[in-house]
Amino acid sequence: MQTIQLKKPVTPDLTFTQWFKNVYNGVRTTVIGMGITFKYVWDVKPVTIEYPEVREELPENSRSRLFNDAQNCISCLQCAAVCPVDCIYIASVKRPADAEKIKTKDGTAIRLDLKQYTIDTALCCYCGLCTTVCPTECLTHTTDYEFSSYTLSAMKYDYLAPDIRAWRTRLVKD
């Protein structure tokens, strides 16, 4: 048998002065509250921005969509190793000894030809660990945040495809 004890609300007997005090308290606190509300109606500038006509500027190191500058990648596989969700797929082939010697932007020799560099953006958790370990800084976070798509397979970005390589003109400052 479970016994539930309800608490009888302990109110002192309601006298005349107490009744007026209650009314005064109620009105006073309501007036204070409404004063604050009206101040916000007349006095405070609205903080809403009218998206999509007005877009907010994200800070420069904002961690949104990734971009890999494939021509500067040396296939060190560090980004794939550190990724906590294993969303980076890389495959590369050793360049033959007699091939032309190519270098990255900052002078490191490129010894491997990148054949596959795909990031599954749907799996990516945007932690930024891959960008910190990239030795040539070819993998960076951009400030693009509007990239939803209709299918999951469209979320897999192949950074060797020409249409994604074309982003380089907008994103990379040489």
Element housing 88 (H / E): strand 88-94
CA distance to 27, 142, 158, per residue, from 64 (Å): 50, 6, 17
For residue 113, list its beta bridge partners.
93
Helix (H/G/I), strand (E/B), else coil: 154: helix
Q: Which two tokens stand for residue 147?
A: 């990239």
Query: How many angstroms from the chain centroid is the CA of residue 85?
Result: 16
CA distance to 71, 77, 85, 125, per residue, from 114 (Å): 9, 11, 22, 24
Residue 161 CB, shortest distance to other proteins, in Å, is 14
Q: Which is nearer to other proteins, 81 or 102 (CB)?
A: 81
Residue 127 CB, shortest distance to other proteins, in Å, is 4
Q: Which is nearer to other proteins, 115 or 170 (CB)?
A: 115
The site for other proteins (CB under 8 A) is made up of 1-9, 25-26, 29-30, 32-33, 36-37, 40, 47, 58-59, 61-63, 75-78, 80-82, 84, 86, 88-94, 112, 115-116, 118, 120, 125-129, 132, 141, 156
Q: Which two tokens stand for residue 78?
A: 């560090």
Q: Which is nearer to other proteins, 61 or 149 (CB)?
A: 61
Q: Which is nearer to other proteins, 124 or 169 (CB)?
A: 124
Strand 102-103 relative to strand 139-141, pairing? unpaired
Residue 98 CB, shortest distance to other proteins, in Å, is 14
Residue 70 CB, shortest distance to other proteins, in Å, is 15
Residue 137 CB, shortest distance to other proteins, in Å, is 15
CB contact at 8 A, 125 and 88: no
Q: Which is nearer to other proteins, 5 or 169 (CB)?
A: 5
